[in-house]
Amino acid sequence: MKAKTKAILHGECIIFESKIPEDAVLEKQDKSFVIIANSEVTGNHHVIDRPPTVQFFTKDQKRYMRNSKPTTVRCVIAERHTAIPIPAGDWEIGIQQEFDYIAQVKRNVQD
């Protein structure tokens, strides 16, 4: 029996199984990929390939994806992170967080 993917980590990105809210708004996309995390310094954005079988939605400043066929999360600069396949399903896309115990603050991971 094959294990089901629950979450995918790619750099600072986290893509996890989720239900897409019924009132989420479909994003209009016209490129072959969608940037899911901007590079802070190098221009090496994290992207998800967007064939016609992939749709993105937003609701309450959260981003969701539905892909009826597998797609890929990757970096613009391929050598930076390994491309990872994303199985068909419904997903929420976010940024991992870390806790700085010295400063006692939570912040988004920067890659």
Kindly state whether residue 83 falls inside one of the protein's structural domains.
yes
Q: Which residue has the tokens 């603050």?
A: 105
Report whether pLDDT(73) > 90. Answer: yes
pLDDT at 110: 64
Residue 58 lies in a domain: yes
Q: How many domains does the chain have?
A: 1
What is the extent of the structural domain holding 72? 7-108
1 belongs to a structural domain: no
49 DSSP β-pair partners:
33
The pLDDT, as a whole number, for residue 61 is 93
In a domain, 104, yes or no: yes
**Domain presence at residue 39:** yes
pLDDT in tens, 26-70: 999 888 999 988 776 666 788 999 999 999 999 999 999 999 999
* SS3 category, 14: strand
